[in-house]
Amino acid sequence: MKYIPIKNTIINAFGTFLSRMSGIVKFNVVNYLFGAGADTFYSANANILSLRKVLGEGPLVNAFLPIFSREKNTDAIKADEFASNIINQIILVSIVVTSIGIAVTPWWTKTFLPGFVDDPEAFSSIIKLTSVMLLSTIFFATFSIGMGILNAHERFITSANAPILSNTVFVIFPIFAYKSMGIMSLAWAIVIGTALQTLAEFIELYSIGFRYRFFITFKDPNVKKFWQVFLPTAFTYLVQSGISMGLGYFASFLPRGSITYLRNANTILYAPVGFIGAAIAGAVFPIFAKVKNDNSLLAQAWQQSFIFLLFTALPISGFFLFYPDVLVNLVFRDISLAFSGSTGKYTPELFALTIEAVGLMGTILIPWSLSLIINKIFYSLQRPYFPLMFYIINFILNIGGYIAAKYFMLGAKGLIYADLIAAWTTLAIETVLILIFVPAHYGSQFFTQASGFILLSGTSWLILKPLHSIYLTLSNPILALLLGVTIFFLGLGLFVASTKILGIYPLKQADA
């Protein structure tokens, strides 16, 4: 029986892929213009990203969409009134949060980024950057509600592609403004980009007949239901954001440039988590919800999604492990060299450190992606406290690892090891609970496929070592880029072909 909706997975993956690729171009601009000097921007932006997770699309859409969809199907006018009411309340909350945030930014920076206190210029820069970027929270929160309205009307293109518009603004604006505005050009690019993506979304909302009204009332029972769902969901995201804040805290003590290359390594690693892990999890979630009352069918769906994720994630993870230099050069070096003849302020030392970080973190793609699917299973079983528990466990493990890394003076490598240990340990706990709540018979085919994917992934990349040796001799960026892309697709092709030859190719089974 088919449990993996291939078409929906590909659609989700492609949209996420385009967004992540435009984000990588964005960070290329930051690297080129500012190099190690971007530490202050990344530190300030981490605060904003954490706030967006709490007051952003995850909690807001999860709380808003079910209520709005139900009202839309019975009374469209009442649904629009409810949406307008929530938009106004969220704008009001965002303004209050932004105002408080600007007021406490000096204290926040001193408390959570103490490594910058002894550097007055960097400390002042973080405060200014944070204060400006906080304005984007108002637009982003409004955008999230708009996305919920469009999704309820089965309109996905604008909300899915809006981040590309925002990233495009981020790429263009600093190039023209950095000489006069310096690193503050990055902060204003985020505000302008977020405002424009919100405007684009509301233009489409108007085109489908949505009419905004300016009023606020807390007496509507639907509003109470919204906040009852939103607040605990936001708390879950707050716990998740605590890991990022903890990383920023301990990374602030590292030599300047460390935050920049660690963030760049994370950018590379998070990209496939989005278009593999998140795409698969989003596609199978409706199926989990549909079969949740039949434990046998749910177990089959879980096994198929697990195998399918291993099939897609293992070769990518193998590429990270075997050829991190090719990957980092493809993403951050070759294109910049081809167009401008240099990598700007992103020095060879920063490249070497980024390559080392990506190589060390190569396997983290697996636990990060599998955790997304496991969380969807527990959400489908209406056990939302389990994902919260997993986030808390992961948070405790991460922070404990960061403390140990600082105590034993392990530097950036210590922070990376902490992330790896926390991710794999959390996955082990999640897996044990899945075996308890979704007991299943794991036959020989399951273990043959899983072990086969691991073996074939490693073999496929090892075969290409001679090509990698040639790659290391190339000085022309275009030739290096072409050979790097060739190595990547050859490795994937060898892996897929070998799974077909050995009869463990999973897509044929998923479509059966």
Q: Where are the alpha helices (DSSP H) in 329-440?
A: 334-340, 348-360, 365-380, 385-407, 411-437
Largest Cα–Cα distance of the chain, in whole Å? 70
> Is residue 263, in this structure, part of any structural domain at all?
yes
Q: Are residues 45 and 120 in the same domain?
A: yes
* pLDDT score for 511: 46
> Is residue 248, in this structure, part of any structural domain at all?
no
Q: Are residues 194 and 274 in the same domain?
A: no
> Is residue 61, in this structure, part of any structural domain at all?
yes
Q: Are residues 320 and 456 in the same domain?
A: yes
The residue segments making up the domain with residue 123 are 1-240
Which of 186, 154, 139 is closest to 37 using CA atoms?
A: 186
Q: Are residues 118 and 40 in the same domain?
A: yes
Euclidean distance between CA atoms 202 and 199, whole angstroms: 5
Q: How far is CA 353 from CA 163, 324, 412, 485, in A?
A: 29, 11, 10, 22
How many CA atoms within 13 Å lie on the side-chain side of 33? 25
Task: Tell me if 354 sits within 8 A of 320, measured CB to CB.
Answer: no
Q: What are the structure tokens assigned to 435, written together?
A: 């075996």
Q: Are residues 214 and 96 in the same domain?
A: yes
Final residue before a domain boundary, out of 187, 209, 240: 240
Q: Are residues 485 and 337 in the same domain?
A: yes
Token pair 């709540």 in the structure block, residue:
437
Neighbours of 28 (CB within 10 A): 20
Residue 185: which residues within 8 A CB-CB, separation 6 or more? 173, 174, 177, 178
Helix, strand or coil for residue 160? helix
Q: What are the structure tokens assigned to 269, written together?
A: 């690693």
Q: Are residues 302 and 197 in the same domain?
A: no
271: Cα separation from own chain's centroid: 7
> Is residue 150, in this structure, part of any structural domain at all?
yes
Final residue before a domain boundary, out of 179, 207, 240: 240
Q: Are residues 260 and 187 in the same domain?
A: no
Q: Are residues 231 and 314 in the same domain?
A: no
> Is residue 442, in this structure, part of any structural domain at all?
yes
Helix, strand or coil for residue 506? helix
> Is residue 495, in this structure, part of any structural domain at all?
yes
- Residue 182's Cβ-count burial label (10 Å; 0-12, 13-18, 19+) is middle
* pLDDT score for 3: 52
Q: What residue type is 20 in one-letter code?
A: R
Q: Are residues 120 and 9 in the same domain?
A: yes
Q: Are residues 259 and 235 in the same domain?
A: no
> Is residue 249, in this structure, part of any structural domain at all?
no
pLDDT along the chain (512 residues), means of 10: 53 62 82 94 91 80 81 88 94 95 96 94 96 95 89 74 86 94 96 94 90 88 88 82 89 94 90 81 78 88 92 96 96 89 93 96 94 87 84 95 95 96 97 90 84 96 98 95 96 97 79 46
Final residue before a domain boundary, out of 240, 274, 308: 240
Q: What residue type is 497 in one-letter code?
A: A
Euclidean distance between CA atoms 169 and 180, whole angstroms: 17
Helical (H) or strand (E) element with 13: helix 6-34
Task: Tell me if 190 sits within 8 A of 48, measured CB to CB.
Answer: yes
Tell me how many domains the chain contains.
2
Q: Are residues 77 and 137 in the same domain?
A: yes
What DSSP line would sit under 204-273, residue for residue? HHHHTT--------S--HHHHHHHHHHHHHHHHHHHHHHHHHHHHHHHTTSPTTHHHHHHHHHHHHHHHI
What DSSP line would sit under 79-111, residue for residue? HHHHHHHHHHHHHHHHHHHHHHHHHHHHHHHHH
Task: Tell me if 25 sits within 8 A of 167, measured CB to CB.
Answer: yes
Task: Tell me if 125 sits within 8 A of 256, measured CB to CB.
Answer: no
* pLDDT score for 426: 97
* pLDDT score for 432: 94
* pLDDT score for 512: 46
> Is residue 175, in this structure, part of any structural domain at all?
yes
Helix, strand or coil for residue 439? coil
Can you say whether residue 304 is alpha, beta or left, with left for phi > 0 and alpha for psi between -120 and 50 degrees? Answer: alpha
